[in-house]
A and B are shown apart, each in its own frame.
Chain A
Amino acid sequence: MGKSTWGKGMTLAILAVFVLLAAGPALAQDTIKIGFSGALTGPAASFGVGIRRGAEIAVDDINAKGGVRGKKLQLIVRDSEHNPVKLVAQHRELVEREGVVALLGGTNSAEMLAVAPILNDQLKVPVICPATDATKITENDAWQEGRDNYVFRYGMFGRGQSNFLVNMAVQRFGYKKAALLTWTAGWGVTGRGELTRRLRELSTPLVADETYDTADTDISPQLLKIKQAGGEVILNYGLVRENVYVVRAKDKIGDKTPYFSAWGLATPAFWRAGGNLGEGVLVSTTITADGPQPPERLQFLKKYWQRYGPDMDFVPGTFAAHDIVHLYAQVMEKVGTDPKAIRAALENIPAFKGLVKDFKRPVFTKSRHDALQEEDFVLGRWTNGKLLQVHFDQEGPHVILDDGAKRYIDKKTLALR
């Protein structure tokens, strides 16, 4: 009897502690707060964690140099659990309770589609997305109606990425018959639509349109169907785990069809899990961290390794988050911390030197909320554990190895010559 009363009391006490924690007043506003809500747990966690780390490094850099207008920056992070409703709630909380003046976008396109109208109509705080790529996130209702659009992006966007992938495969590599292999979850679905559209625009026949599911551990049936249909190139939209299954199934059935993937595979996690089965996979991305790099990037990488160890989970997002924080700092230094002013100023930045790209043009304009465009994207090739940028010359596509050797890519198998 005593035991159960005690336990009941304890359970209720724990609850009460949580209530008190929540009711505690928000900290006084002696810092400038930037918010980020995204998946920090669950299957998409590596994206959120990568963004968080990139932003943390940038915040500390800026604070070490005295902050913005004499105030320190502070990053407030929430775990959206890959759930749009949670993300929307957390955006409200970040803005209204924490008083953040700028935001980094989430990790899931659906989340950002859900929150975009709320940011535009109610919260009116700018957000810049480093990761989510559905085209409509930035080209939302407000954008279409010409109202103030608070949603920006500093990463891949669906239309651009698909155009880039298809152009590469069809125009630069010269494949005639394409096959799609996409993930049935959100990102894969939009990618599938965009890729189909671009193939149609280029009048390239789509001979197979296969999908895979989160629970598919063996993708050989799909690959066999593609092979039977005579696909010369496979275009993929998906994430690491499923793609390890894809390259493994390719190995299993001895399939050598060239494999082009969207930026879900632009992360070392792919090589760690897939090993050298990933050799030769081509990935579209905004940035590769391997191979010869400019000094600013190397500096950033060093800081990252010191702080978080050698594994970088989501390279493009981590770099982008770093740039976004600097972008905000630059803007706020100029116009202060009013979110509306920040938003307006973002559309009028003449130039910006980021790690991902050195912008010599306005980063955003009123009609263009995607900082990076098709021509800014790069193709990477997984080469012995490194994602090396693919360059082109008269002889064709090639990569430059660490020792400076130039190796050309065989278009039939994507092997190095």
Chain B
Amino acid sequence: MRFLVQIVLSGIATGAIYGLVAVGYSVTYATMRVLNFGLGMWVMLGAMVGYTLHVTFGLNVLIAMLGMMTVLGGLGLLAERFTVLPFVRAGSDVWIMSTLAVGLLFINAAELLWGRNPLAIPPFLGKDPINFAGIGIYPQEILIVIVACAVMVALDVFYQYTLLGKAFRATASSTEVAGLMGINTRRIASLAYALAGCLAGFAGLLVAPVTLAEPQMGTILGLKAFAIAIIGGLEAGRGIFVCGLLYGVLEGLLSGYLYTGIRDIIGFTLMILVLFVRPNGLFGRRAEERA
């Protein structure tokens, strides 16, 4: 029982991060049918830039967080303008490759700027684990779950109750009609891309005290989050987050009760099966070619 609780708790912490990154995919997909295939590298970049601001420059963690998100947001605007927009305008889907290429650039840049060894970022709240009834958990892990949930709620509030959020949803529903309302859909698309980058970076800095920051940290994380975004059904933000949590717990159970090596095999096979049964994800909707 103790064992079960421990792995479920650990799974939830991992899953919250998966969910947070995965939601980043949906932000861009829902507004402009584009995915940032290199999003994992933005996670890494968030951790790295956060390391510099927080550890190297010794800035307060909140200020470092804001500073990092400003940097990533700016990069997001640039990346959208130069590596996504030209291809979307041309109506081709090679942005799959171009966004991946940007990710490669990031990995290399990070290796040059921050070295290849894992960097430690001190936990935000305290580094001693909390122990109760023989079950241990780090304050940072609790923080991750709470903050990730808070971000999801904030995102929801943004979408549901702010004018800009409503404009985001309108653009997602129909770029054309949103334009007729006077909404600058071009700007919304850039903002969405930047927001996705910010979210990813935020997740990166949040998780780095637990996972360490290093140039390769985003590769697998990005891919898994992508898988989760797909299972959730790219446009359903909340569904994706829930999927992330579930997937984290599933992973914990698999490595706890079976063994680690089989975790991804079962997880990804399950994902293929889910898509086989529901081609647009668990929470997605159908689309067809019209005659």
Give the Cβ gap from B272 to chain A, nearest Cβ, in Å.
19
Query: Which residue of chain B lies nearest to A277 when distances are taken between CB atoms in the complex?
Result: B127
Interface locus among B2-10, B174-182, B233-241: B2-10
Instruction: Spot the interface stretch: A268-276, A324-332, A340-348, A400-408.
Output: A268-276
Per-position contact with B for A293-324: 1 when CB-CB < 8 Å, else 0? 00000000000000000010100000000000
Q: State whether A253 touches B117 (Cβ < 8 A).
A: no
Evaluate contact between A269 and B117: CB separation under 8 angstroms: yes
Contacts of A184 in B (CB 8 A): 260-261
Please pick, from A224, A240, A254, A313, the residue contacting B129 in the complex, using a CB distance under 8 A: A254
Q: Are B118 and A240 in contact (CB under 8 A)?
A: yes
Q: Which of B160-168, B196-204, B209-217, B276-284 contacts A (4 or more CB under 8 A)?
A: B209-217
Q: With an 8 A cutoff between CB atoms, is A71 at the interface? A: no
Is A138 at the interface (CB under 8 A from chain B)?
no
Known: A253-B136, A254-B136. A221 touches B256 (CB 8 A): yes
Q: Mark B208-228, 1 if CB is under 8 A from A, else 0.
A: 001110101000110010000
- Determine whether the beta carbon of B131 is less than 8 Å from that of A254: yes
Given A224-B3, A272-B120: A217 touches B211 (CB 8 Å cut-off): yes
Given contacts A252-B136, A252-B138, A273-B212, contact A216 B116 (CB under 8 A): no
User: Which B residues between 95 and 152 are near A, CB-CB below 8 angstroms?
Assistant: 108, 111, 115-120, 129, 131, 134-138
Tell me the chain A residues, 183-226 only, with Cβ under 8 Å from chain B.
184, 210-218, 220-222, 224-225
Contact digits for A34-57, partner B, Cβ 8 Å, 1 yes 0 no: 000000011101100100000000
Whether B120 pairs with A211 at a CB distance below 8 angstroms is no
In Å, the complex CA distance between A221 and B259 comes to 10
B252, A313: Cβ atoms closer than 8 Å: no
Q: Do A220 and B136 contact each other (CB < 8 Å), given the known contacts A41-B111, A184-B261?
A: yes
Instruction: Report the bound CA distance from A254 to B133 in whole Å.
Output: 11
> In whole angstroms, what is the CA distance A58 to B3 when docked?
52
B260 engages A216 (CB within 8 Å): yes
Q: How far apart are the CA atoms of A221 and B248 in the complex, in Å?
A: 13
Q: Are A274 and B120 in contact (CB under 8 A)?
A: yes
- What residues of A have a CB within 8 angstroms of the CB of B252 in the complex? 218, 221
Q: Give the interface centre of A212, A252, A273, A313 by most chain B CB atoms within 10 Å.
A: A252
> Assuming A213-B261, A214-B220, A217-B211, is B117 touching A46 (CB within 8 A)?
yes
Tell me whether A251 is interfacial, beta carbon within 8 Å: yes
Residue of A49, A214, A251 touching B116 (CB-CB under 8 A)? A49
Residues in A with CB closer than 8 Å to B22 are: none
Contacts of A215 in B (CB 8 A): 220-221, 224, 264
Instruction: Tell whether A357 is near chain B: CB-to-CB under 8 Å.
Output: no
Inter-chain contact A241/B118, CB cutoff 8 Å:
yes
Bound complex: CA of A49 vs CA of B220, how far in Å?
A: 24
Interface residues on chain B, number (Cβ under 8 Å) = 38
| Cα distance, A367 to B115, chains bound together (Å) | 41
Separation of A248 and B120 alpha carbons in the complex (Å):
12
Rounded to whole Å, the gap between the CB of B17 and the closest CB of chain A is 9
Inter-chain contact A221/B261, CB cutoff 8 Å: no
A29 within 8 A of B: no
* A228 within 8 A of partner (CB): yes
CB-CB contacts below 8 Å: A238-292 with B: 240-241, 244-245, 248, 251-254, 269, 272-275
Is B169 part of the contact surface with A, judged by Cβ < 8 Å?
no
Q: Which residue of B lies closest to A43 (CB)?
A: B216
Q: Are the C-beta atoms of A217 and B220 separated by less than 8 Å?
A: no
Q: How far is the CA of A252 from the CA of B142 in the complex (A)?
A: 13
A61 CB → nearest B CB, Å: 26
Which of A42, A211, A217 contacts B210 (CB under 8 A)? A217
- Known contacts A211-B261, A215-B264: A273-B6 contact under CB 8 Å: no
| B263–A213 touching, CB < 8 Å | yes
Interface membership of B53, Cβ < 8 A = no
Is the pair B212, A244 in contact by a Cβ cutoff of 8 Å? yes
Contacts of B134 in A (CB 8 A): 253-254
Nearest-Cβ distance from residue A87 to partner chain B, whole angstroms: 18
Contact between B6 and A253, CB atoms less than 8 A apart: yes
B255 at the interface (CB under 8 A from A): yes
Given that A221-B256, A252-B137, A253-B136 are contacting pairs, would A273 and B118 also be in contact in the complex, using a CB cutoff of 8 Å? yes
Instruction: Tell me which residues across on chain A come within 8 A of B214, comparing CB atoms.
Output: 241
In the assembled complex, B189 has its CB within 8 A of some CB on chain A: no
For B26, the chain A residues whose CB sits under 8 A away are none
Residues of B within 8 A of A240 (CB): 117-118
Q: Is the CB of A42 within 8 A of B216?
A: yes
* B14 beta carbon closer than 8 Å to chain A: yes
Judge whether B246 is part of the interface by a CB distance below 8 angstroms: no
Q: Is B39 interfacial (CB-CB < 8 Å)?
A: no
A217 to B140, CA, bound (A): 13
B residues near A211, Cβ cutoff 8 Å: 259-261
Residues of A with C-beta under 8 A to B111: 41, 45
Instruction: Tell yes or no: B13 within 8 A of A by CB.
Output: yes
How many angstroms from the CA of A214 to the CA of B232 in the assembled complex? 25
Query: Which chain A positions have C-beta within 8 A of B259?
Result: 210-211
Query: B13 and A46: CB pair below 8 A?
Result: no
Contact partner of A244 (CB less than 8 A), chosen from B116, B118, B220, is B118
* A49 nearest CB neighbor, chain B only: B116
* A213 to B220 alpha-carbon distance, docked (Å): 11
Nearest chain A CB to B252 CB, angstrom units: 6
Nearest A residue to B2, CB-CB: A224
Instruction: State whether B261 touches A224 (Cβ < 8 A).
Output: no
Which residues of the other chain, B, contact A225 by a CB distance below 8 angstroms? 3, 256
Q: Which residues in B have some Cβ–Cβ distance to A below 8 Å?
A: 2-3, 6-7, 10, 13-14, 108, 111, 115-120, 129, 131, 134-138, 210-212, 214, 216, 220-221, 224, 252, 255-256, 259-261, 263-264
Task: Give me 24 A-to-B residue pairs in the complex whose CB atoms sit less than 8 angstroms apart, sorted by A's number.
Answer: A42-B216, A43-B116, A43-B216, A210-B260, A211-B259, A213-B261, A213-B263, A213-B264, A217-B211, A218-B10, A218-B210, A221-B3, A221-B6, A225-B3, A225-B256, A240-B118, A244-B118, A248-B138, A248-B210, A251-B129, A251-B136, A272-B118, A311-B115, A311-B117
Closest 10 CB pairs of A and B: A221-B256, A252-B136, A273-B118, A253-B136, A45-B116, A218-B10, A269-B117, A252-B129, A215-B220, A221-B7
